[in-house]
Structure formats: structure tokens, C-alpha cells
């Protein structure tokens, strides 16, 4: 009819168009509304994007996902420390996808129901592993990091906020790889 039911993410593979992104329970609002978007596509046909999260008619954040050519899976940071315990909110976004199927993004941090900054993360599709970038935390648990560049070789470049207890010492640049770490 005349009612919007959201936005779907899709991929045309040269033969067929298929729906990708996260759907179903947790990603469908009461009444059938869903909202997914694509952020990145690589030459191998892998796609990274986000889908809105819902609990009934209430928005509960956003999840990052990766379509690897066969399935769509949730990526990013979830669970304790990344979930608002009073609302169930989680918020992850993906900002980069390289030729190797590695993705980078950020997730909101929570201490119970209190927002405590954001953590950058790196996901390796071959290893099916997510790495959290929590290089420095303030004495109350607040932290901030982000990835600004992800190379095809897996090099992540970004910045983090450095703390000495409760004292903010400013932003610092970093380089990181799976092999060499921070």
C-alpha cells in the first residue's frame, strides 16, 4: 500500500538479485519494517553494511554485518561492555572492507546503562575473529578509538584517546596488524 516497510540491502551477482543484510527476529519492527544499508563491496563479491535492530516497535540500535558470498553474519562487538543493560541497545557500524574480506568499524561501549565511548574493531573473515581496540581507558571505563584506514594487507591505521587515570592526554595515532599487533 502507501506505507513504507523500510529499506533492503541487495546484491546482483551477474545472474540473480539476492537480499542480503540481517532480517528476521531482532531486525524486524512490529508491522514488518526493516532497514538495512550497504557500506562497502569488494571485487570478490563480499559486502559489508548495517541493519537496524528492533524489539517490537522500539529501535534498539544497529548491527554491522558481512555477506561473504554465501551467508550474512553479524560482525562488530556485542555482549557485555557493548550492550546497554537497561534497554538492550547495541550500536555497531562498519566503515571499511578490504579485498581480503577483512572489515573495520566501531561499536558503542556501555558500563551497565551508561554510555562509555566507542571501540574500534577489526574483523578477519578467514579467521572468523573480531579484535577489539581498547588501547586506553579512563578510570571510569570511558574509552575512544577509531580506524581511519584499512589496507588490503590488513594494516589498520587510526587514533585512540590516551588517559592517565582520569586525565585526558589527547589523541594518539596507531598502526595495527594481526601479525604485529599494536
**Per-residue confidence band for 3, with pLDDT thresholds at 50, 70 and 90:** confident
Asked whether 68 and 40 are in contact (CB, 8 A), the reply is: no
**pLDDT tens for residues 112-134?**
999 999 999 999 999 999 999 99
State the pTM of this model.
Answer: 0.93
C-alpha distances out from residue 52 to 47, 90, 130, Å: 17, 10, 20
Residue 1: per-residue pLDDT: 76
Amino acid at each position: 500500500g502507501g506505507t513504507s516497510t523500510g529499506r533492503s540491502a541487495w546484491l546482483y551477482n551477474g545472474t540473480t538479485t539476492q537480499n542480503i543484510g540481517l532480517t528476521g527476529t531482532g531486525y524486524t519492527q512490529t508491522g514488518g519494517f526493516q532497514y538495512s544499508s550497504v557500506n562497502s563491496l569488494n571485487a570478490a563479491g563480499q559486502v559489508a553494511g548495517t541493519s537496524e535492530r528492533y524489539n517490537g516497535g522500539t529501535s534498539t540500535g544497529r548491527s554491522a554485518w558481512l555477506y561473504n558470498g554465501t551467508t550474512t553474519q553479524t560482525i562488530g562487538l556485542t555482549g557485555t561492555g557493548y550492550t546497554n543493560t537497561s534497554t538492550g541497545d547495541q550500536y555497531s557500524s562498519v566503515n571499511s572492507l578490504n579485498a581480503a574480506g577483512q572489515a573495520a568499524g566501531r561499536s558503542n561501549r556501555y558500563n551497565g546503562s551508561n554510555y562509555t565511548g566507542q571501540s574500534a574493531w577489526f574483523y578477519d573473515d578467514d579467521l572468523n575473529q573480531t579484535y577489539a581496540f581498547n588501547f586506553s581507558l579512563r578510570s571510569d571505563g570511558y574509552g575512544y578509538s577509531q580506524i581511519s584506514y584499512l589496507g588490503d594487507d590488513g594494516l589498520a591505521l587510526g587514533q585512540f584517546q590516551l588517559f592517565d587515570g582520569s586525565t585526558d592526554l589527547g589523541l594518539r595515532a596507531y598502526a595495527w596488524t594481526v601479525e604485529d599487533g599494536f
